[in-house]
Amino acid sequence: MKRGLRVAVVVGLVTGAVLGMAGTFVTDDRVRAVLWAIDGAALILATTILALHYFRKNCDGIAAGFLIYAIGESVMLGGTAGDLIVSVPAFAAGTALWCVALAMTSGPKEFALWTRLAGIVGAGLFGVTSLEIFAGAPLTQLTKPMPFFAYPFLVATFIGWIVAVLREA
């Protein structure tokens, strides 16, 4: 991967991790929406580049996982400007896609074991969250324990992806 794209991936993943987590702690809906909008766009950028990178490396399953992640993030981004309750359907669809994406990127041995384990745990937690919302549970993006406690596993997975990108340099 060329240096400029590598920088874009790292910046996108770091931005997504930091602003995504920050958005879960702010109380103002408008500030949260802005943080999550930037977070979403940054993650779409990073995971799309990673999809192309892994496709070129002949890691089609991982590439598909990153592409699915970008699609899931795009679905969520569409609901970011609304209040939490209004955006729950987009969130449920996005977390379903995150589940699939994390499972696909965590299965093959391309990433370190700890990264894959964090991804698998995150996939499971987001899958349960999505299923609960689709089954009618009154969850939002900030509900505790789920999905609130799933986000650290997602961020840990991002860190593992960053480490892998930097090691390839």
Instruction: Please tell me the distance from the alpha carbon of residue 102 to that of residue 69, in angstroms, as a whole number.
Output: 8
Residues 6+ apart with CB under 8 A from 59: 108, 110
CA 92 to chain centre: 13
pLDDT band for position 136 (cuts 50, 70, 90)? very high
Question: What mean pLDDT value characterizes the chain?
Answer: 96
**Predicted confidence (pLDDT) at residue 83 exceeds the cutoff of 90:** no
Number of CB atoms found within 10 A of residue 15's CB: 18
Following CA atoms 66, 18, 24, 128 in sequence, which dihedral angle do they give, to the nearest 10 degrees? 30
Q: State the pLDDT at residue 67.
A: 98
**Predicted confidence (pLDDT) at residue 43 exceeds the cutoff of 80:** yes
Instruction: Please tell me the distance from the alpha carbon of residue 24 to that of residue 152, in angstroms, as a whole number.
Output: 11
**Predicted confidence (pLDDT) at residue 32 exceeds the cutoff of 80:** yes
pLDDT band for position 114 (cuts 50, 70, 90)? very high
pLDDT band for position 80 (cuts 50, 70, 90)? confident
Taking the domains of the chain in order of start, what are their residue ranges?
Answer: 3-168
With H, G, I as helix, E, B as strand and everything else as coil, classify residue 96: helix
113 close to 158: Cβ distance less than 8 angstroms: no
Rounded to two decimals, the pTM is 0.96
